[in-house]
Amino acid sequence: MTNPVSAWQQSTLNGGGFIEGIFQDPQLPDTLYARSDVAGVFKSLDGGRSWQARNHGMSACHQHDVRSFVLSPHDGQLLFRGSGSVRGGTFFGTIHKSVDGGDYWYPVCREVDFYGNGETRQYGEVIQIDPHDSAFVVAGGYSAGIWISNDKGENWTYTGLKDERISCVYFHPTQKDTLYVGTIGSFDRDPVFVAQQYDYIRPNPARLYRSSDRGATWEVLHEGMDFAEIVFDPKVADTIHAACVHNGVMKSTDGGRTWVSHAPGMSKYLIGTIAIDPHNPMKLYAGAETFPNADPAVPPIGVYHSADGGESWQLIRWHIDADIRNYPTYMTLPYAGWATSKIRVDARDSHTLYMSNWYGVAISHDTGLTWDANHFAGMENICIENMVVHPAQPETLFIVMADHSPKVSTDGGRTFTPMARPNIETTQPDSTAIVASRYRPDLVFYSIKGASGCSIIRAGTTHDAPQVVFQMLAAADTEESRLAFQSRAAGVSVQSLAEDPFQAGKFYAYLDGILAGGAGLYQSLNWGETWERLSPIFPTYITRVPHERYWIENELLSVVIAQTKNVCGTNQLLCVDPHRQATLYVGEWTEGLFRSTDGGSTWQNISHTLPFQRERASVLNVIRADEHKPGVLYAGFIREGLWRSSDYGDTWEKLFPNDDRIFNATSVAVGGTDGKLIVVVSEPLYWSPCASAVYVSHDSGQSWQDIYDKKLGAIRWKSVAIEPGINKIYAASCGNSAFYIALE
């Protein structure tokens, strides 16, 4: 039995994603909740200055993709959350309930579908509790229609509006039994975009519906305008304000039948959120979904206000650098307002506003003139692809991730700081692979992928500044595609980087993508100054890697299906043997594991006894060589578990689990104080469902124990590593930060 000497510790790196929604407990105003498209639900007990994830009870892949949540106005401990996504044209969804303020959640409905990381994820809430009846709960699906519960969410019944793309659901605050439902229809004008989102054309245009009988019947109030979020004037029952996406901010004085715009200039932006001041209903706020640096005429933080009940609107301020405080160092002013999802007014103080967006939650104490991000403590848009420990510097490790350059920790994973990168032309760069040199401990190579292509960068204290030593521009993709994020897929990308353990200055780079466009294996013999492409690895029928590109980079591994290659995991399919010189291993997800014993001149397929293509999801995800035992290799498969070879890959046997249950071995590490420690992690996936787990063996795989803390929820583990020479484990996730733990 393996006993931790400490509990799992979370890095101050934080976790998160796109923060799509926030709300405040009106009875305990220092308590706030936030929802994310990849990291679940967060809770703050200090007025939004710091956050902690609340995902205990989540188990399935989609359950951290939260589309909606609600706190009961009758009971401050009762909450619901709706999560879901889409794969293979099928929408997934689960409603969970908590009766203890979000500390634990249990499922109550699997009939309602949600698109928690889709294009409507930042709009209004689609789960609501009746302010007049504590037992009556309503939920709106992405395609499954409206569902109601009369027993506090324990049982649910369908009540209409199937196939509507529901974007917001509300109870009228003063008119009992009255419901409003808004839908989105503008997507359907662009069939290509709908296909990119793996959605389908809906039968009706955008509408606003009303029911006066708790959902038994519905009437169409308005048609032809998207409704993202609406608010009601608490003093004038028929006055409603709406954020209407392409139509800006609208106002109705007849209960929603007719609408007028008093802010025509705002319609040039996408307006997805609107809030009313609970202290003064004449004051309203709205937020625009602006994007950084797209247009110098666009305000950096697009928050607008009205002081006259929506009759006129003004930009609060054209913000300057001095107006934002305590933002991460990588964020410049235009990023502070990127994709604003919610604006909320504090329940105690009308001068205090909360704004959620792509990166986290910021607070203003002067009605939006200045903003404080509080360093996004506990919550940050961090989706890690891979983690690497330094082979020669204790307590030093590196991470690569989506949307960011690499980060480094020199204190054993407690804190991370961004690594410098050269000024190369790219937007929202993804870092994909990294390697630190054992011969020159101050030298690091890492790779960046962006819209302009991919680059390998040499960094470290021996250089005045990071230098680009390899660059390949993005090429037009020749494959027909329904991809919304081509920048992550076009051309080639650096999948893995490795150092030769026998020859100083020799490094390898494995590039995936189109082989004719430059993908393949490269080597450098002079500390990265020049790179040459080695002999072809794969059979001629393979023209790109992954060979099953759509299956690997969208359906199976990607965190968001419409974002190709986004957090599929990297840096794990190239291995240089530490015991036999000139021996290399390269993996292809579905087509095999290949070995060269002559430094990459010739290649042999050594995967004949491995479980490739046993099932659709039987995909190779990681290969590792045991630095303590010559000839020992590990191969981790989605669905098929962990396999081991003791003869340099000639033959293989399954190591874990010792039965036929599904286990997604997403990463493996070997080492520890005696070299006998093995750690393998799993993540839940749509087409290969299994639980999040961290299994450890102290006896080279004879016995195993799961040391995962289930309070963390359905974490998608992407990488695991062991501190050289000691029994300290590091683990990195998509959306829920990095962790570390010490074992006996």
Write out pLDDT tens, residues 267-279. Answer: 888 999 999 999 9
pTM (predicted TM-score): 0.95
Residue bearing tokens 């009601």: 232
pLDDT surpassing 70 at residue 427: no
Q: Are residues 585 and 694 in the same domain?
A: yes
3-state secondary structure 64-88: HCEEEEEECCCCCCCEEEEECCEEC
Answer yes or no: is 20 within a domain. no
User: What's residue 590's pLDDT?
Assistant: 98
Q: What is the mean pLDDT of residues 113-124?
A: 96
Domain that residue 299 falls in: 29-376
Number of domains in the chain: 2
Q: Is residue 632 part of a domain?
A: yes
Residue 462, pLDDT score: 52
Alpha-carbon distance 677 to 674, whole Å? 7
List, in order, residues 6 or more apart from 244 with CB less than 8 Å away: 225, 226, 227, 228, 250, 259, 271
Confidence at 705, pLDDT banded by 50, 70, 90: very high
- Max mean pLDDT among 156-170, 254-268, 472-486 falls in 156-170
Q: Do residues 133 and 168 both lie within one domain?
A: yes
Q: Is the pLDDT of residue 564 over 90?
A: no
Q: Is residue 458 part of a domain?
A: yes
Q: Which residues contact 108 (CB under 8 A, 6 or more apart)?
A: 80, 95, 96, 97, 149, 153, 154, 155, 156
pLDDT band at 730 (very low <50, low <70, confident <90, very high): very high
Same domain, 311 and 403: no
Give the per-residue pLDDT at 332: 86
Whether 397 is covered by a domain: the verdict is yes
Which of 49-53, 125-129, 335-339, 657-661 shows the lowest per-residue confidence on average (mean pLDDT)?
A: 335-339
pLDDT more than 70, % of the chain: 95
**Band (653; pLDDT cuts 50, 70, 90):** very high
Place of tokens 């951290």: 64
Residue 636 lies in a domain: yes
Please write the tens of the pLDDT for every residue from 332-342: 888 899 899 99
Residues 274, 401 within the same domain:
no
Same domain for 560 and 473, yes or no, is yes
Give percent of the chain above pLDDT 90.
Answer: 85
Same domain, 305 and 448: no
| pLDDT at residue 480 tops 60 | no
Residue ending a domain, choose from 319, 346, 376 = 376
Is the per-residue pLDDT at 479 higher than 80? no
Q: What is the arithmetic mean of pLDDT over 509-533?
A: 96
372 shares its domain with 456: no
Same domain, 321 and 449: no
Residue 662 token pair: 């599904």
Closest residue by Cα to residue 233 from 278, 281, 283, 274: 281
Residue 215 amino acid letter: G
Residues 545, 326: Cα–Cα separation, whole Å: 41
**Domain-embedded: residue 19:** no
Residue 526, pLDDT > 60, answer yes
Considering 328, 344, 376, which residue would you say is the last residue of a domain?
376
- Residue 390's pLDDT is 97
- CATH label of the domain that carries residue 592: 2.130.10.10
- Joined together, the tokens standing for residue 652 give 């293989």
Together in a domain, 100 and 177: yes
Residue 306 lies in a domain: yes
Domain boundary among the residues 330, 353, 376 is at: 376
CB 655 within 8 A of CB 643: yes
* 372 lies in the same domain as 453: no
- What region does 412 belong to: left with phi over 0, alpha with psi -120 to 50, or beta? left
Q: Is the pLDDT of residue 655 over 90?
A: yes
Rounded to whole angstroms, how far apart are CA atoms 187 and 120?
10
Together in a domain, 480 and 354: no
SS3 of 407, please?
strand
Lookup result for tokens 């107006």: 323
Q: Is residue 8 part of a domain?
A: no
What pLDDT sits at residue 413? 96
Please determine, for residue 554, whether its predicted confidence score (pLDDT) is greater than 80.
Answer: yes
pLDDT computed for residue 481 by the predictor: 43
Mean of pLDDT over the chain: 94
Query: In which band, very low, low, confident or very high, does the pLDDT at 482 lie, cut at 50, 70 and 90?
Result: very low
Q: Are residues 530 and 427 in the same domain?
A: yes
Residue 447 has phi, psi (to 5 degrees) of -120, 150
- The answer to whether residues 203 and 188 touch, using CB atoms and an 8 Å cutoff, is no
Burial of 608 (0-12, 13-18, 19+ CB in 10 A): exposed
274 neighbors 243 (Cβ within 8 angstroms)? yes
Position 622 pLDDT exceeds 80: yes
* Integer-rounded Cα radius of gyration of the chain: 26
Per the omega criterion (within 30 degrees of 0), is the bond before 441 cis?
no
